[in-house]
Amino acid sequence: MPELPEVETVVQNLKSKILGQKIIGVGVLCTKIFDLVPACVIGEIILDITRRGKYIIIKLNTGYLVIHLRMTGKFFAVSKPVPEINQAKLLTNYAKHLHVIIELQDYFLLFQDQRKFGKINFYENLDWLENKLGPEPLLADFTQSYLATIFKSNKQVKALLLDQSKIAGLGNIYVDELLWQAGVHPATLASKISPAKTNLIYLAIREILQKAISLQGTTFLSYAFDGDKPGNYLNHLKVFNRTNQSCLRCGGVITKIKIAQRGTHVCEFCQR
């Protein structure tokens, strides 16, 4: 599933292209993904494109399109062809798993999703989303003291970090990575983690997310941006998807366990 760095990459790529564009048509091939009446957004202007947690938010004149990629969703802009080229022919290049087409003045916004778990919805306000999500881990309101406060919980630390109501945007890949970097076992109860280790986790969250964003995310299964461009963080992973390989820090063997119903990669030798 695309996490904060991947969604941020998609947002920045879209922002460079479609700000100020008017929506002039919507084609819905799968109502499971886009279940509203398309006419409600036709004529709207794209005023801004932002991210909140793992959600893409497109601000319109009268509300917001909110997009969640879930596991295999791809949302990207394709330039319209010159008039003498058949537009339908262009779209056949992206026909596989194509479920929503939003026509703008100069672009098509396409939503592809192999598993059809993704969602596009229209909302008049974002109060529901703010009530649902915790602070953004790269913004000022995510502090070391805030992390220490939520670590008073008796939840396993990985489960707590995956809780979007506590911290928005973290997912399986980056939680494994940041806990490895901090030297903390993902099954450790958050309340048992020392202040020093808590600070290491805080620093790891910021460092790893910023680096992953700079490298346009991690392409592990299906994530891509701008159509088919992969992220470049895969070769920088230290523990995720390295089952039975040597730990890059201590030489121990990376194992895969299950925490919070998620496959979890850990070095049992140096993560305590």
Q: What is the rounded average pLDDT of the residues 194-213?
A: 98
Domain 144-267 class?
Answer: mainly alpha
Question: Residue 84 has what pLDDT?
Answer: 55
Beta bridge partners of 57: 50, 66
Find how far residue 194's CA is from the centre of its chain: 29
Question: Residue 94 has what pLDDT?
Answer: 85
- Nearest Cα neighbor of 24 from 110, 129, 116, 105 is 105
In the chain, the amino acid numbered 163 is D
In the predicted structure, residue 85 carries a pLDDT above the cut 60? no
2 noted as active-site residue: yes
Query: Which of the following is catalytic: 116, 155, 256, 262?
Result: 262
152 noted as active-site residue: no
81 noted as active-site residue: no
Query: Which of the following is catalytic: 17, 51, 54, 166?
Result: 54
* Residue spans in the chain of domains classed CATH 3.20.190.10: 4-132
* Residue spans in the chain of domains classed CATH 1.10.8.50: 144-267
Going by pLDDT thresholds of 50, 70 and 90, the confidence category of residue 95 is: confident
Question: Residue 83 has what pLDDT?
Answer: 61
pTM (2 decimals)? 0.95
Q: What's the mean per-residue pLDDT of the chain?
A: 94
Residue 139: φ, ψ to 5° = -105, 170
Which CATH architecture group holds 4-132?
Alpha-Beta Barrel (3.20)
Going by pLDDT thresholds of 50, 70 and 90, the confidence category of residue 176 is: very high
Q: What is the rounded average pLDDT of the residues 205-228?
A: 95
Q: What is the pLDDT of residues 44-76, one digit of tens each?
A: 999 999 999 999 999 999 999 999 999 999 999
Give CA–CA dist 148/20, Å, rounded: 42
Q: What is the pLDDT of residues 141-152, one digit of tens each?
A: 999 999 999 999
For residue 155, give both structure tokens: 């939840």
Query: Which of the following is catalytic: 2, 5, 135, 186?
Result: 2
Q: Count of CB atoms within 10 A of residue 232's CB?
A: 15
